[in-house]
C-alpha cells in the first residue's frame, strides 16, 4: 500500500496548492491527505509521513521577532503545525517542510528567522514559481542524496528565511548571496526543509526526487512498524495462555 502523507495547507490557498502536493507525492510513490486549521480529522497515527506546506508568515512571537503590520499571519495554522510537528517527532515520522514549512520546522526546534531576509543578504530577489534561482547544495547531505545533485535551479516566493538553526539541524543549501535555502536533520529520522516550492516543479526530476525520498522514508518506517508488530504477535503466540 502507498504510504499516506499528511499535508498541512492554508485555509485560504489550500484548494489550489494541495492538488500539486498530492500529485508530487503520488509521483513519489505515496498518497496524500489534506490538513488545515479547524479540521477535526488531523490524526498523526493514521499517516506515515508529514509535509508542512507553504503560506503566510509565521507569527514572530514564536521565535522572538518583532510584530509587523505589513505581513499576513495565520495564528490557527501556526498552532496546528506546531502540534503536527511535535507529534511527528514523538512518532519518528519523516517530515518535509516547504517554504513556510521549512521555517516552521526550524522554529519548532528552537531556531529563529530573518523577518526580511533580503535586507540581510545580497541575494537576488526573485518572486516566481519558475526555476530561476540557483542554490548550491552541501556535500554529503540528505538533500544532495535525495535530489542527486550539487546545485539546483529553484523558484522563490519567500521574504523570510532561516537565521539561527534549531536543535539537531544543519544547513543543506544556500543561494549565491549566502541565504539559507535548505535545512535538514543531521541524524534519523528524516527531516528536510526547503525554502522553495518543489510541488510547482514536479516536471523536473530532481525536485520529484525530494518527494520520492520522503515517501521512501515513510515506507521504511512502515516496514519497521510491521516487523515490530509481527515480533509482538510471535512473542504472544510463544507465550500462550497461562
Q: Of 81, 99, 114, 158, which is the active-site residue?
A: 99
User: What are the φ/ψ torsions at residue 121 (nearest 5 degrees)?
Assistant: -110, 160
- 199 annotated active-site: yes
Distance CA 51, CA 25 (A): 10
pLDDT tens by residue, 95-137: 999 999 999 999 999 999 999 999 999 999 999 999 999 999 9
pTM of the full structure: 0.93
Residue 49 has what pLDDT? 98
Give the whole-number percent of the chain exceeding pLDDT 70: 97
Instruction: Give the SS3 label for residue 180.
Output: strand
Q: Of 158, 199, 200, 207, which is the active-site residue?
A: 199
CATH number at residue 61: 3.40.50.880
Residue span of the structural domain in which 54 resides: 4-239
Q: Of 158, 197, 200, 207, which is the active-site residue?
A: 197
- 99 annotated active-site: yes
- 151 annotated active-site: no
In the chain, the number of structural domains is 1
Look-up of cell digits 516496514: 223
Instruction: Give the SS3 label for residue 184.
Output: strand
Q: For the chain, which ranges sit under pLDDT 70?
A: 69-70, 229, 240-242
Nearest Cα to Cα of residue 101 among 178, 49, 141, 138: 49
Amino acid at each position: 500500500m502507498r504510504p499516506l502523507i499528511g499535508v498541512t495547507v492554508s485555509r485560504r490557498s489550500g484548494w489550489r496548492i494541495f492538488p500539486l502536493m498530492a500529485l508530487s507525492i503520488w509521483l513519489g510513490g505515496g498518497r496524500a491527505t489534506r490538513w488545515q486549521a479547524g479540521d477535526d480529522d488531523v490524526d498523526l497515527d493514521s499517516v506515515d509521513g508529514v509535509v508542512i506546506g507553504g503560506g503566510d508568515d509565521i507569527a514572530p512571537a514564536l521565535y522572538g521577532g518583532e510584530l509587523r503590520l505589513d505581513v499576513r499571519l495565520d495564528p490557527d495554522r501556526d498552532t496546528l503545525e506546531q502540534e503536527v510537528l511535535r507529534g511527528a517527532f514523538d512518532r519518528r515520522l519523516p517530515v518535509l517542510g516547504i517554504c513556510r514549512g521549512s521555517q516552521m520546522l526550524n522554529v519548532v526546534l528552537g531556531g529563529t528567522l530573518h523577518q526580511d531576509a533580503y535586507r540581510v543578504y545580497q541575494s537576488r530577489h526573485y518572486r516566481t514559481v519558475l526555476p530561476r534561482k540557483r542554490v548550491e547544495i552541501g556535500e554529503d547531505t540528505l538533500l544532495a542524496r535525495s535530489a542527486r545533485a550539487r546545485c539546483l535551479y529553484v523558484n522563490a516566493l519567500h521574504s523570510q528565511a532561516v537565521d539561527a538553526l534549531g536543535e539537531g539541524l544543519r544547513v543543506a543549501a544556500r543561494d549565491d548571496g549566502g541565504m539559507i535555502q535548505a535545512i535538514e536533520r543531521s541524524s534519523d529520522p528524516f527531516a528536510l526543509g526547503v525554502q522553495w516550492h518543489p510541488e510547482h516543479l514536479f516536471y523536473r526530476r530532481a525536485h520529484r526526487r525530494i518527494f520520492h525520498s520522503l515517501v521512501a522514508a515513510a515506507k521504511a518506517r512502515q516496514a519497521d512498524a510491521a516487523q515490530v508488530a509481527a515480533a509482538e504477535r510471535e512473542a504472544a503466540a510463544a507465550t500462550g495462555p497461562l
